[in-house]
Amino acid sequence: MKDTTISARQAGMLCTITILANKIFLLPALIYDGVKSDGFFVMMFLFALELCVLGIFILLKKKFPNNTLNFILEKYLGKVIARIIYFFFMMFFLFKMMLTYSVCYVYLKQQVYQDEFALLALICIIPVVNHAVISGLRVFSRTIELYFYVIMTGVLICLAVGLGNWQGMPILFNSTPSEFFLTSFKHIFSFGDYLFLFLIIDKIHLEKGQVKHLVKYVALGIIMVLTLFIAFYSIYQITAFMHNNALSDIISVSLQFNAIGRLDVLAMLTIMFLCYFEMEIFQFSFSEAFCNVFHKLNRKYSIVVFDVIFLVVYFILVGRYENMILYTEGWLPYFSIFTNFLIPIIILFISLPKRKGVRYEKTF
């Protein structure tokens, strides 16, 4: 048991990574295009909804401290419904991986290579991510734990420099309610930050009083993202929609900083590490869902299937970075309504305690 479980602290770090996923690169510009600087409030609204999902996970973990999600779903909903839910999780994390890869690839192409390097990118990314998944949750969680504070330091330095470039408070409350909710809907696929916790619910070791460790790291991720949004909108104001790499762009006006040199190198390294770890979490989540849809196939099969599907879907159906963004704002939000909200609502009814005085084990 100890060889396969992770602590509340490690789970919190994974949550911080997924909270930052895709929200500190392109998302600020996309949201600005819809509601201008009110994108800050859109993020607050969507984070509030996501915290409800985190609360549902805590309730479920409280009621079923040691059971797998598959056991819980099959017990209450049956095997067919359980497999359908896992299939939706598979597709969700597959496209999350594609979005992360697309954004990271285009960023590095613009900042480093200035040319196409698709084959080199695949050679550098896929084997590393595959190895992390085959090594297991505990191993790559420890790796993330090792690099976590280095990555957070990089993000904090970028935010500090960005706040140092403050150009004044951005104009707020300049969007209509319809624009606000439409923009919120269009970008819900960039969320779903805590869904992977449900897939590994039996592998998270929560003792009494340790929920606060999980919440602490979640709060850290949310504060970082909101700080980035307000700094980004302050610096670029009406041209924010033109800047597609927020974390790097907020320090681009201070590329030379005395003897320190080019600060965009720090942002570049931070983004690269973040993308690697985000993709590891997403592919591992795909693998967990895959193994619960196809019980007779193990994790090695899931990696092979993922790689094949990823290559076929990305290079044949998606094709271009622009298409991936179009899908993210087009049909994927409808898909995310089911994965991000309807499935957690179903799980909420399962996680509620029984009324007839039935007690369940408390672990925290």
- Among 286, 1, 13, which residue's Cα sits nearest to residue 140? 13
Residue showing tokens 């996501």: 50
Handedness of CA 176, 231, 276, 254 (dihedral sign): positive
In degrees, rounded to 5, the angle at the alpha carbon of residue 273 between the alpha carbons of residues 204 and 152 is 70
Instruction: Measure the CA–CA gap between 161 and 266, rounded to whole angstroms.
Output: 11
Instruction: Measure the CA–CA gap between 342 and 108, rounded to whole angstroms.
Output: 36
Domain limits for position 308: 7-349
- Assigned domain for 359 exists: no
DSSP string, 189-231: GG--TTHHHHHTGGGEE--TT-HHHHHHHHHHHHHHHHHHHHH
Residue showing tokens 């770090």: 13
pLDDT of res. 254: 57
Give yes or no for a contact between 234 and 168, defined as CB atoms under 8 angstroms apart: yes
pLDDT band at 96 (very low <50, low <70, confident <90, very high): very high
The structure tokens listed for 67 are 């059971």
**Mean pLDDT, residues 104-116:** 76
3-state class of 7 per DSSP?
A: strand
Q: Which of 14-18, 113-117, 148-152, 170-174 has the lowest mean pLDDT?
A: 113-117
Mean pLDDT of the chain: 87
Number of domains in the chain: 1
**Mean pLDDT, residues 219-234:** 93
Query: For the segment 34-62, what is each residue's pLDDT rounded down to a tens digit?
Result: 898 999 999 999 999 999 999 999 999 99
- Assigned domain for 23 exists: yes
- Assigned domain for 185 exists: yes
Instruction: Measure the CA–CA gap between 334 and 344, rounded to whole angstroms.
Output: 15
How far is CA 343 from each of CA 49, 93, 128, rounded to the nearest angstrom?
14, 15, 31
The structure tokens listed for 117 are 């390097």
CATH number at residue 307: 1.20.1740.10
- Assigned domain for 360 exists: no
Q: Phi and psi for 154 in degrees, rounded to 5? A: -60, -45
- Among 8, 60, 23, which residue's Cα sits nearest to residue 188? 23
* One-letter amino acid for residue 233 of the chain: Y
pLDDT band at 356 (very low <50, low <70, confident <90, very high): low
Query: For the segment 70-82, what is each residue's pLDDT rounded down to a tens digit?
Result: 999 999 999 999 9
Give yes or no for a contact between 233 and 170, defined as CB atoms under 8 angstroms apart: yes
Residue showing tokens 């570049």: 268
- Assigned domain for 43 exists: yes
- pTM for the full model? 0.90
- Assigned domain for 317 exists: yes
